[in-house]
Amino acid sequence: MSRLLVKDVRIVDADRELVGDILIGESTIQAVGAGLSVPPGVPVLLGEGRMALPAFVDLHAHFRDPGFPEKEDLLSGARAAAHGGFTCVSLMPNTDPACDSPEVARYILEEARRQGLVEVYPVGAITRGLKGEELADMEGLAPYVWAFSDDGHGVDDHELMLAACRKAAALGRVVYPHPEFSGVSDPELSQELMVARDLWLCRRTGCRLHLAHLSTPGGLELVALAKGQGLPITCEVTPHHLTLSKEEACYTVNPPLPDRRAQKALVQGLREGIVDVIATDHAPHTPEDKARGAPGISGIELAFPILFTRLVKPGLIPLSRLSRGLSLEPARILGLNKGLIKEGLDGDIVLVEDEPFTADEDFFLSKSSNTPLLGAELRGRVWATVHKGEVIYLAGKVKGRDFDDHRQVI
Protein backbone atom coordinates (compact mmCIF):
# COMPACT_ATOMS: atom_id res chain seq x y z
CA MET A 1 0.00 0.00 0.00
CA SER A 2 1.37 3.40 -0.98
CA ARG A 3 1.77 6.25 1.51
CA LEU A 4 2.54 9.87 0.72
CA LEU A 5 2.36 13.36 2.25
CA VAL A 6 1.63 16.16 -0.23
CA LYS A 7 2.81 19.42 1.36
CA ASP A 8 1.98 23.08 0.77
CA VAL A 9 -0.71 23.05 -1.93
CA ARG A 10 -3.81 25.04 -2.81
CA ILE A 11 -6.48 22.35 -2.48
CA VAL A 12 -9.52 22.72 -4.74
CA ASP A 13 -12.33 20.26 -5.39
CA ALA A 14 -16.05 20.48 -6.12
CA ASP A 15 -16.89 21.21 -2.47
CA ARG A 16 -14.15 23.40 -0.99
CA GLU A 17 -10.91 25.31 -1.33
CA LEU A 18 -8.11 25.65 1.24
CA VAL A 19 -4.34 25.85 1.57
CA GLY A 20 -2.70 22.92 3.31
CA ASP A 21 -1.42 19.36 3.09
CA ILE A 22 -2.81 15.95 2.11
CA LEU A 23 -1.79 12.75 3.89
CA ILE A 24 -2.40 9.53 1.95
CA GLY A 25 -2.05 6.20 3.75
CA GLU A 26 -3.12 2.69 2.78
CA SER A 27 -4.00 4.17 -0.64
CA THR A 28 -6.74 6.44 0.74
CA ILE A 29 -6.71 10.01 2.01
CA GLN A 30 -6.24 10.02 5.79
CA ALA A 31 -6.05 13.72 6.57
CA VAL A 32 -6.44 17.11 4.88
CA GLY A 33 -5.36 20.31 6.61
CA ALA A 34 -2.65 22.85 7.29
CA GLY A 35 0.64 21.95 8.92
CA LEU A 36 0.27 18.17 8.90
CA SER A 37 3.28 16.45 10.47
CA VAL A 38 5.36 13.97 8.49
CA PRO A 39 4.85 10.40 9.77
CA PRO A 40 8.05 8.36 10.10
CA GLY A 41 9.16 6.82 6.82
CA VAL A 42 6.49 8.54 4.70
CA PRO A 43 7.85 10.28 1.57
CA VAL A 44 6.96 13.90 0.97
CA LEU A 45 5.90 15.54 -2.28
CA LEU A 46 6.55 19.27 -1.98
CA GLY A 47 3.76 21.12 -3.76
CA GLU A 48 5.34 24.56 -3.30
CA GLY A 49 2.01 26.34 -3.65
CA ARG A 50 0.76 24.45 -6.71
CA MET A 51 -2.92 23.66 -7.16
CA ALA A 52 -3.99 20.22 -5.94
CA LEU A 53 -7.20 18.78 -7.36
CA PRO A 54 -8.78 15.33 -7.35
CA ALA A 55 -7.23 13.38 -10.23
CA PHE A 56 -9.38 13.35 -13.35
CA VAL A 57 -11.67 10.56 -14.58
CA ASP A 58 -12.26 10.28 -18.34
CA LEU A 59 -15.47 8.54 -19.37
CA HIS A 60 -14.71 8.65 -23.10
CA ALA A 61 -11.35 7.81 -24.67
CA HIS A 62 -9.87 5.68 -27.45
CA PHE A 63 -6.61 3.84 -26.81
CA ARG A 64 -6.92 1.94 -30.16
CA ASP A 65 -5.92 -1.39 -28.61
CA PRO A 66 -6.47 -3.98 -30.00
CA GLY A 67 -6.16 -3.22 -33.68
CA PHE A 68 -4.46 0.13 -34.28
CA PRO A 69 -1.15 0.22 -32.38
CA GLU A 70 0.33 2.76 -34.80
CA LYS A 71 -2.17 5.31 -33.41
CA GLU A 72 -2.11 4.34 -29.73
CA ASP A 73 -1.92 1.30 -27.50
CA LEU A 74 -2.88 0.65 -23.91
CA LEU A 75 0.55 1.61 -22.60
CA SER A 76 1.03 4.81 -24.60
CA GLY A 77 -2.56 5.80 -23.85
CA ALA A 78 -2.04 5.19 -20.13
CA ARG A 79 1.13 7.27 -20.16
CA ALA A 80 -0.70 10.09 -21.94
CA ALA A 81 -3.54 9.84 -19.40
CA ALA A 82 -1.14 10.10 -16.45
CA HIS A 83 0.52 13.07 -18.15
CA GLY A 84 -2.89 14.74 -18.45
CA GLY A 85 -3.77 14.14 -14.78
CA PHE A 86 -6.15 11.20 -15.36
CA THR A 87 -5.96 8.10 -13.16
CA CYS A 88 -9.12 6.42 -14.52
CA VAL A 89 -10.12 6.06 -18.16
CA SER A 90 -13.17 4.49 -19.79
CA LEU A 91 -12.35 3.05 -23.21
CA MET A 92 -14.76 2.96 -26.13
CA PRO A 93 -15.36 -0.26 -28.08
CA ASN A 94 -14.36 0.73 -31.64
CA THR A 95 -11.23 -1.42 -31.64
CA ASP A 96 -10.40 -4.24 -34.05
CA PRO A 97 -11.88 -6.61 -33.13
CA ALA A 98 -14.56 -4.48 -31.52
CA CYS A 99 -15.17 -4.90 -27.81
CA ASP A 100 -18.27 -6.98 -28.49
CA SER A 101 -17.15 -10.16 -26.70
CA PRO A 102 -15.91 -11.11 -23.22
CA GLU A 103 -12.54 -12.10 -24.71
CA VAL A 104 -11.75 -8.59 -25.96
CA ALA A 105 -12.96 -6.96 -22.73
CA ARG A 106 -10.82 -9.33 -20.64
CA TYR A 107 -7.77 -8.61 -22.79
CA ILE A 108 -8.16 -4.86 -22.20
CA LEU A 109 -8.59 -5.29 -18.45
CA GLU A 110 -5.74 -7.76 -18.04
CA GLU A 111 -3.30 -5.70 -20.09
CA ALA A 112 -4.14 -2.54 -18.18
CA ARG A 113 -3.68 -4.31 -14.85
CA ARG A 114 -0.35 -5.71 -16.00
CA GLN A 115 0.88 -2.20 -16.75
CA GLY A 116 -0.24 -0.95 -13.35
CA LEU A 117 -0.39 2.69 -14.40
CA VAL A 118 -4.02 3.92 -14.64
CA GLU A 119 -7.36 2.25 -14.03
CA VAL A 120 -9.17 1.22 -17.21
CA TYR A 121 -12.91 0.62 -17.55
CA PRO A 122 -14.02 -0.86 -20.90
CA VAL A 123 -17.28 -0.02 -22.61
CA GLY A 124 -18.90 -2.92 -24.44
CA ALA A 125 -20.49 -2.73 -27.89
CA ILE A 126 -24.26 -2.57 -28.24
CA THR A 127 -24.19 -4.45 -31.55
CA ARG A 128 -21.86 -7.02 -33.05
CA GLY A 129 -19.00 -5.37 -34.87
CA LEU A 130 -20.67 -1.99 -34.21
CA LYS A 131 -22.73 -2.67 -37.35
CA GLY A 132 -26.15 -1.90 -35.88
CA GLU A 133 -27.63 -5.18 -37.11
CA GLU A 134 -27.80 -7.53 -34.10
CA LEU A 135 -27.10 -7.20 -30.41
CA ALA A 136 -23.67 -8.06 -29.09
CA ASP A 137 -23.23 -10.62 -26.30
CA MET A 138 -24.38 -8.17 -23.66
CA GLU A 139 -24.80 -10.86 -20.99
CA GLY A 140 -21.28 -12.14 -21.57
CA LEU A 141 -19.83 -8.64 -21.59
CA ALA A 142 -21.66 -7.40 -18.49
CA PRO A 143 -19.13 -8.67 -15.88
CA TYR A 144 -16.33 -6.74 -17.60
CA VAL A 145 -17.95 -3.47 -18.76
CA TRP A 146 -19.86 -0.67 -17.06
CA ALA A 147 -21.77 0.51 -20.14
CA PHE A 148 -22.74 -0.33 -23.70
CA SER A 149 -22.15 1.91 -26.74
CA ASP A 150 -21.68 1.69 -30.48
CA ASP A 151 -19.49 4.77 -30.09
CA GLY A 152 -19.03 6.44 -33.48
CA HIS A 153 -22.36 5.10 -34.72
CA GLY A 154 -25.85 5.73 -33.49
CA VAL A 155 -28.11 2.65 -33.48
CA ASP A 156 -30.69 3.69 -36.09
CA ASP A 157 -32.92 0.64 -35.66
CA HIS A 158 -35.53 1.58 -33.03
CA GLU A 159 -36.53 -1.99 -32.15
CA LEU A 160 -32.89 -3.02 -31.77
CA MET A 161 -32.15 -0.06 -29.49
CA LEU A 162 -35.28 -0.77 -27.46
CA ALA A 163 -34.08 -4.35 -26.94
CA ALA A 164 -30.62 -3.07 -25.96
CA CYS A 165 -32.08 -0.67 -23.39
CA ARG A 166 -34.22 -3.40 -21.87
CA LYS A 167 -31.30 -5.77 -21.67
CA ALA A 168 -28.94 -3.16 -20.20
CA ALA A 169 -31.54 -2.28 -17.57
CA ALA A 170 -31.88 -5.95 -16.61
CA LEU A 171 -28.07 -6.28 -16.41
CA GLY A 172 -27.67 -3.11 -14.36
CA ARG A 173 -25.49 -1.43 -16.97
CA VAL A 174 -25.57 2.03 -18.55
CA VAL A 175 -26.60 2.69 -22.16
CA TYR A 176 -24.08 5.14 -23.62
CA PRO A 177 -25.30 6.13 -27.10
CA HIS A 178 -23.59 8.13 -29.80
CA PRO A 179 -26.45 10.58 -30.50
CA GLU A 180 -26.56 10.71 -34.27
CA PHE A 181 -28.86 9.29 -36.94
CA SER A 182 -26.93 8.20 -40.01
CA GLY A 183 -29.65 9.24 -42.49
CA VAL A 184 -29.97 12.88 -41.40
CA SER A 185 -27.58 15.31 -43.08
CA ASP A 186 -28.02 18.26 -40.69
CA PRO A 187 -25.64 17.48 -37.76
CA GLU A 188 -27.64 19.44 -35.18
CA LEU A 189 -30.97 17.90 -36.16
CA SER A 190 -29.38 14.46 -36.38
CA GLN A 191 -28.14 14.74 -32.79
CA GLU A 192 -31.34 16.17 -31.39
CA LEU A 193 -33.57 13.54 -32.99
CA MET A 194 -31.38 10.77 -31.58
CA VAL A 195 -31.30 12.36 -28.13
CA ALA A 196 -35.11 12.62 -28.15
CA ARG A 197 -35.51 9.00 -29.27
CA ASP A 198 -33.10 7.66 -26.63
CA LEU A 199 -34.69 9.73 -23.86
CA TRP A 200 -38.04 8.17 -24.71
CA LEU A 201 -36.47 4.70 -24.62
CA CYS A 202 -34.96 5.55 -21.23
CA ARG A 203 -38.40 6.61 -20.02
CA ARG A 204 -40.01 3.45 -21.36
CA THR A 205 -37.42 0.95 -20.10
CA GLY A 206 -35.95 2.60 -17.01
CA CYS A 207 -32.39 2.07 -18.26
CA ARG A 208 -29.68 4.42 -17.06
CA LEU A 209 -28.61 6.63 -19.96
CA HIS A 210 -25.39 8.57 -20.46
CA LEU A 211 -25.31 10.70 -23.62
CA ALA A 212 -21.96 11.07 -25.38
CA HIS A 213 -20.41 14.38 -26.48
CA LEU A 214 -23.46 16.62 -26.76
CA SER A 215 -22.76 19.64 -28.93
CA THR A 216 -26.07 21.43 -29.60
CA PRO A 217 -28.28 23.77 -27.56
CA GLY A 218 -31.31 21.69 -28.55
CA GLY A 219 -29.71 18.54 -27.17
CA LEU A 220 -29.07 20.28 -23.85
CA GLU A 221 -32.66 21.54 -23.76
CA LEU A 222 -33.98 18.00 -24.17
CA VAL A 223 -31.67 16.75 -21.41
CA ALA A 224 -32.81 19.52 -19.07
CA LEU A 225 -36.46 18.61 -19.67
CA ALA A 226 -35.78 14.92 -19.05
CA LYS A 227 -33.85 15.63 -15.86
CA GLY A 228 -36.76 17.74 -14.69
CA GLN A 229 -38.93 14.64 -15.06
CA GLY A 230 -36.54 12.59 -12.94
CA LEU A 231 -35.22 10.30 -15.67
CA PRO A 232 -31.96 8.47 -14.83
CA ILE A 233 -29.80 10.31 -17.34
CA THR A 234 -26.43 12.07 -17.46
CA CYS A 235 -24.54 13.67 -20.31
CA GLU A 236 -21.07 14.83 -21.29
CA VAL A 237 -19.43 17.56 -23.36
CA THR A 238 -15.85 17.49 -24.63
CA PRO A 239 -13.15 20.08 -23.91
CA HIS A 240 -12.91 20.96 -27.61
CA HIS A 241 -16.64 21.60 -27.94
CA LEU A 242 -16.51 23.83 -24.86
CA THR A 243 -13.48 25.85 -25.94
CA LEU A 244 -13.25 25.82 -29.75
CA SER A 245 -15.72 27.06 -32.33
CA LYS A 246 -15.87 26.36 -36.04
CA GLU A 247 -15.28 30.07 -36.66
CA GLU A 248 -11.98 29.76 -34.80
CA ALA A 249 -10.70 26.33 -35.85
CA CYS A 250 -11.20 24.32 -39.02
CA TYR A 251 -10.73 20.82 -37.66
CA THR A 252 -12.58 17.58 -38.32
CA VAL A 253 -14.28 16.08 -35.29
CA ASN A 254 -17.50 14.15 -34.77
CA PRO A 255 -19.80 15.81 -33.84
CA PRO A 256 -18.53 18.92 -35.65
CA LEU A 257 -17.19 21.88 -33.73
CA PRO A 258 -20.07 24.20 -32.76
CA ASP A 259 -20.55 27.78 -33.85
CA ARG A 260 -19.97 30.47 -31.21
CA ARG A 261 -23.66 30.58 -30.28
CA ALA A 262 -23.76 26.86 -29.55
CA GLN A 263 -20.39 26.94 -27.79
CA LYS A 264 -21.67 29.58 -25.37
CA ALA A 265 -24.75 27.44 -24.72
CA LEU A 266 -22.56 24.44 -23.88
CA VAL A 267 -20.55 26.48 -21.37
CA GLN A 268 -23.80 27.76 -19.87
CA GLY A 269 -25.06 24.18 -19.64
CA LEU A 270 -21.91 23.19 -17.77
CA ARG A 271 -22.22 26.16 -15.44
CA GLU A 272 -25.87 25.36 -14.66
CA GLY A 273 -25.29 21.63 -14.12
CA ILE A 274 -27.23 20.40 -17.16
CA VAL A 275 -23.91 19.02 -18.38
CA ASP A 276 -22.66 16.49 -15.82
CA VAL A 277 -19.30 15.44 -17.20
CA ILE A 278 -16.42 16.72 -19.29
CA ALA A 279 -15.02 13.77 -21.26
CA THR A 280 -12.08 14.10 -23.64
CA ASP A 281 -13.09 11.80 -26.52
CA HIS A 282 -9.32 11.31 -26.89
CA ALA A 283 -9.02 10.12 -30.51
CA PRO A 284 -5.39 9.68 -31.63
CA HIS A 285 -4.65 9.29 -35.35
CA THR A 286 -1.59 8.98 -37.54
CA PRO A 287 -0.81 12.03 -39.69
CA GLU A 288 -1.77 10.00 -42.77
CA ASP A 289 -5.20 9.09 -41.40
CA LYS A 290 -5.83 12.63 -40.25
CA ALA A 291 -4.90 13.93 -43.71
CA ARG A 292 -7.50 11.55 -45.14
CA GLY A 293 -10.15 13.18 -42.96
CA ALA A 294 -10.32 10.91 -39.91
CA PRO A 295 -12.33 12.78 -37.24
CA GLY A 296 -10.96 13.35 -33.78
CA ILE A 297 -8.54 15.14 -31.48
CA SER A 298 -5.74 13.71 -29.37
CA GLY A 299 -7.07 15.46 -26.30
CA ILE A 300 -6.34 13.70 -23.02
CA GLU A 301 -3.08 15.55 -22.33
CA LEU A 302 -4.39 19.05 -23.01
CA ALA A 303 -7.90 18.68 -21.57
CA PHE A 304 -7.24 20.45 -18.29
CA PRO A 305 -4.93 23.15 -19.69
CA ILE A 306 -7.35 24.24 -22.43
CA LEU A 307 -10.31 24.26 -20.03
CA PHE A 308 -8.35 26.10 -17.36
CA THR A 309 -7.00 28.64 -19.85
CA ARG A 310 -10.21 29.37 -21.74
CA LEU A 311 -12.92 28.83 -19.13
CA VAL A 312 -11.49 29.25 -15.63
CA LYS A 313 -8.95 32.04 -16.13
CA PRO A 314 -11.46 34.35 -17.91
CA GLY A 315 -14.01 33.68 -15.15
CA LEU A 316 -16.53 31.76 -17.27
CA ILE A 317 -16.68 28.90 -14.74
CA PRO A 318 -15.08 28.46 -11.30
CA LEU A 319 -12.31 25.93 -10.80
CA SER A 320 -14.60 24.00 -8.46
CA ARG A 321 -17.10 23.48 -11.32
CA LEU A 322 -14.31 22.25 -13.58
CA SER A 323 -13.27 19.79 -10.88
CA ARG A 324 -16.84 18.54 -10.59
CA GLY A 325 -17.02 17.85 -14.34
CA LEU A 326 -13.60 16.23 -14.64
CA SER A 327 -13.50 14.31 -11.36
CA LEU A 328 -16.52 14.06 -9.08
CA GLU A 329 -19.35 13.41 -11.54
CA PRO A 330 -17.55 10.86 -13.75
CA ALA A 331 -16.35 9.06 -10.61
CA ARG A 332 -19.93 8.90 -9.35
CA ILE A 333 -21.17 7.52 -12.67
CA LEU A 334 -18.53 4.77 -12.55
CA GLY A 335 -19.23 4.11 -8.87
CA LEU A 336 -15.67 4.92 -7.78
CA ASN A 337 -14.42 6.03 -4.39
CA LYS A 338 -12.89 9.13 -5.93
CA GLY A 339 -13.61 12.66 -7.06
CA LEU A 340 -12.98 14.77 -3.93
CA ILE A 341 -9.96 15.48 -1.75
CA LYS A 342 -11.62 14.08 1.33
CA GLU A 343 -10.74 11.68 4.11
CA GLY A 344 -11.63 8.08 3.22
CA LEU A 345 -11.57 8.55 -0.55
CA ASP A 346 -8.87 7.17 -2.82
CA GLY A 347 -5.60 9.09 -2.79
CA ASP A 348 -5.87 10.23 -6.40
CA ILE A 349 -4.44 13.74 -6.71
CA VAL A 350 -3.20 15.95 -9.53
CA LEU A 351 -0.86 18.90 -8.97
CA VAL A 352 -1.07 21.71 -11.50
CA GLU A 353 1.05 24.77 -12.26
CA ASP A 354 -0.59 28.09 -13.14
CA GLU A 355 2.24 29.06 -15.49
CA PRO A 356 2.28 29.53 -19.28
CA PHE A 357 3.63 26.79 -21.54
CA THR A 358 3.55 25.99 -25.24
CA ALA A 359 1.89 22.81 -26.50
CA ASP A 360 4.49 21.82 -29.08
CA GLU A 361 5.21 18.39 -30.60
CA ASP A 362 7.57 17.47 -27.76
CA PHE A 363 4.83 17.96 -25.20
CA PHE A 364 2.91 14.77 -26.02
CA LEU A 365 3.44 11.30 -24.54
CA SER A 366 0.68 9.88 -26.71
CA LYS A 367 1.77 8.36 -30.01
CA SER A 368 -0.34 11.01 -31.72
CA SER A 369 -0.47 14.80 -31.56
CA ASN A 370 -3.43 15.49 -33.84
CA THR A 371 -4.85 18.67 -32.35
CA PRO A 372 -5.51 22.22 -33.52
CA LEU A 373 -3.83 23.38 -30.29
CA LEU A 374 -0.30 22.66 -31.49
CA GLY A 375 1.74 25.77 -30.80
CA ALA A 376 -0.87 27.32 -28.51
CA GLU A 377 0.20 29.02 -25.30
CA LEU A 378 -1.78 27.57 -22.39
CA ARG A 379 -1.75 27.52 -18.60
CA GLY A 380 -2.47 24.74 -16.12
CA ARG A 381 0.20 22.20 -17.01
CA VAL A 382 0.03 19.01 -14.94
CA TRP A 383 3.15 18.70 -12.77
CA ALA A 384 2.32 15.49 -10.86
CA THR A 385 -0.29 12.75 -10.92
CA VAL A 386 -0.82 10.53 -7.87
CA HIS A 387 -2.82 7.29 -8.00
CA LYS A 388 -3.79 5.80 -4.62
CA GLY A 389 -0.78 7.42 -3.00
CA GLU A 390 1.69 6.43 -5.70
CA VAL A 391 3.25 9.05 -7.95
CA ILE A 392 2.72 7.85 -11.52
CA TYR A 393 3.77 11.06 -13.27
CA LEU A 394 6.11 13.81 -12.09
CA ALA A 395 7.68 16.72 -13.95
CA GLY A 396 7.94 14.99 -17.31
CA LYS A 397 8.65 11.49 -15.98
CA VAL A 398 6.27 8.53 -15.99
CA LYS A 399 6.34 5.56 -13.65
CA GLY A 400 7.64 2.39 -15.28
CA ARG A 401 9.67 3.97 -18.05
CA ASP A 402 11.39 6.92 -16.40
CA PHE A 403 11.34 5.81 -12.77
CA ASP A 404 10.31 2.77 -10.74
CA ASP A 405 9.63 4.38 -7.38
CA HIS A 406 8.57 7.92 -6.57
CA ARG A 407 11.18 8.19 -3.81
CA GLN A 408 13.84 8.28 -6.54
CA VAL A 409 12.53 11.52 -7.99
CA ILE A 410 11.17 13.46 -5.03
Please give the average per-residue pLDDT across 388-399, as a whole number: 94
Angle between helix 102-115 and 74-83 (nearest 10) = 50
Per-residue pLDDT, 409: 42
If you count them, how many residues does the chain have?
Answer: 410
Same-domain pairing of 278 and 185: yes
Same-domain pairing of 192 and 263: yes
- pTM for this entry: 0.95
Model confidence at 403, pLDDT cuts 50, 70, 90, reads low
Task: Report CA torsion sign: 313, 11, 386, 61.
Answer: negative
Task: Give rounded-to-5 percent helix, strand, coil for the chain.
Answer: 30, 20, 45
| Contact of 4 with 391, CB cutoff 8 Å | yes
Q: Print the domain residue range for 86.
A: 55-334
Number of structural domains the chain divides into: 2
pLDDT tens digits for 287-305? 999 999 999 999 999 999 9
Same-domain pairing of 43 and 182: no
pLDDT tens digits for 346-376? 999 999 999 999 999 899 999 999 999 999 9
Same-domain pairing of 175 and 61: yes
pLDDT tens digits for 98-147? 999 999 999 999 999 999 999 999 999 999 999 999 999 999 999 999 99
Same-domain pairing of 95 and 15: no
Does a cis peptide bond (omega within 30 degrees of 0) precede residue 66? Answer: yes
Same-domain pairing of 357 and 327: no
Same-domain pairing of 36 and 62: no
**Catalytic residue list contains 405:** no
Q: Is residue 186 part of a domain?
A: yes
Which of 310, 334, 358 terminates a domain? The answer is 334
Model confidence at 404, pLDDT cuts 50, 70, 90, reads low
CATH number at residue 110: 3.20.20.140
Q: Is residue 341 part of a domain?
A: no
Same-domain pairing of 188 and 278: yes
Active-site residue (options: 13, 150, 281, 348)? 281
Model confidence at 248, pLDDT cuts 50, 70, 90, reads confident
| Contact of 174 with 147, CB cutoff 8 Å | yes
Per-residue pLDDT, 1: 55
Same-domain pairing of 402 and 286: no
Same-domain pairing of 106 and 237: yes
Which of 334, 362, 392 terminates a domain? The answer is 334
Distances in Å between the Cα of 249 and the Cα atoms of 156, 256, 399 are 30, 11, 35
